[in-house]
Amino acid sequence: MNNRIRQQPTHPTPEYITVTPEMALDWLTSNEANRPLRSYKVNDYIRDIEAGHWYHSNDGICLSTDGTLLNGQHRLTAILESGLPAVLLVIRDMPLEAMIAMDRGTGRTTADLLGFRGHKNNHSLGAVVKLIIIVESGRIYSDTRLQRATDSEVEEFLAVNPLVEHIVSYVSSIKAHIDCSPSVLGLVYWLIQQANGTSLAEFYLDQLATRENEPSGSAVLAVDSRLRSIRRDHARYPRRDLIHLLIRGWNHYATDHRVTTLAMNTRGEFNLPEVKKWNRGEIRAVSA
């Protein structure tokens, strides 16, 4: 059969068209040999479609000469489940054997996109923005496949929150001195500055990096000790537990509550503590 297909020349016809949910359903019924459906990828596409972030792409939906769907099941499923149309490049009359050559290239990353847009520290910037988005949208679940943000969401967030670029630049300057990932440090800075301003957010992280003049019982020392023990013991915790630790540390520190140790949050659910206001006037006068 493969030899017969090769001997029949085809002339693929590409065209940008508005694909409706009805068309998507029709094409998905001829989905015979695609990869297993990844629900998290479908959800990414649904969010972009619903937010109006669907852009023209050179990555076409391909149909064979007999109407078999060769690729694009995730995009079509997103159109079907969202109930909204989207413009896609549709290529008809593709030979069946072309399927084995599809989706073989190296995909562009969020960091690639941000670098193309001229952003500095593009890898850390993408990681920090994605983490902020998934925390603020409630998507930081135990299933890491759901902890995702699309490139369109990242670009939209950066457009209205330029402070994040400064945050990433600052975190890059101290990250070597704190046993924690830059993305978590960037998120903690973001959360603290929302309630207390940038000066106090940087003061807390500066103290975590240097531990200068911190007395016994300081929450900064307790956080630092816990982070060091995690590295020493080669322990692995999800980001949400590290975020929980650093925010609890801030809350103790901001209210001058002395602690000697801070345990990790391992209850399974992510309940982010409310970030407390600074209540140590002698430092507020210096930092504000």
The whole-angstrom distance between residue 32's C-alpha and the CA centroid of its chain comes to 32
Residue 286 has pLDDT above 60, yes or no: no
Mean pLDDT value across residues 263-279: 83
Instruction: Evaluate if pTM is beyond 0.75.
Output: no
CA distance linking residue 31 with residue 134, whole number of Å: 32
Residue 1 has pLDDT above 50, yes or no: no
Positive or negative: CA dihedral 210, 212, 215, 220: negative
Mean pLDDT (the chain, rounded):
86
pLDDT value at position 274? 93
High-pLDDT (> 70) share of the chain, %: 84
High-pLDDT (> 90) share of the chain, %: 54
β-strand pairing of 86-94 with 61-64:
parallel
pLDDT value at position 265? 81
> For residue 265, what are its two tokens?
């949050």
CA nearest 124: which of 154, 156, 147?
154
Residue 77 has pLDDT above 80, yes or no: yes
**Domain architecture of the chain: domains with CATH:** 2-101 (3.90.1530), 110-287 (no CATH)
pLDDT value at position 148? 82
CA nearest 254: which of 287, 227, 230?
287
Predicted confidence (pLDDT) per residue in 150-168, tens digit: 888 899 999 999 999 999 9
CA distance linking residue 250 with residue 104, whole number of Å: 46
Of residues 243 and 115, which shows the higher confidence score?
Answer: 243
pLDDT value at position 179? 95
pLDDT value at position 175? 93
pLDDT value at position 103? 59
pLDDT value at position 66? 85
Cβ(135)–Cβ(32) under 8 Å? Answer: no
Predicted confidence (pLDDT) per residue in 18-47, tens digit: 999 999 999 998 886 667 788 888 988 998
Of residues 288 and 209, which shows the higher confidence score?
Answer: 209
Predicted confidence (pLDDT) per residue in 205-242, tens digit: 999 999 999 999 999 999 999 999 999 999 999 888 99
Buried-exposed string 99-131: b where 16+ CB fall within 10 A, e elsewhere: beeeeeeeeeebbebbbeeebebbbbbbbbbbb
Amino acid at 215: P
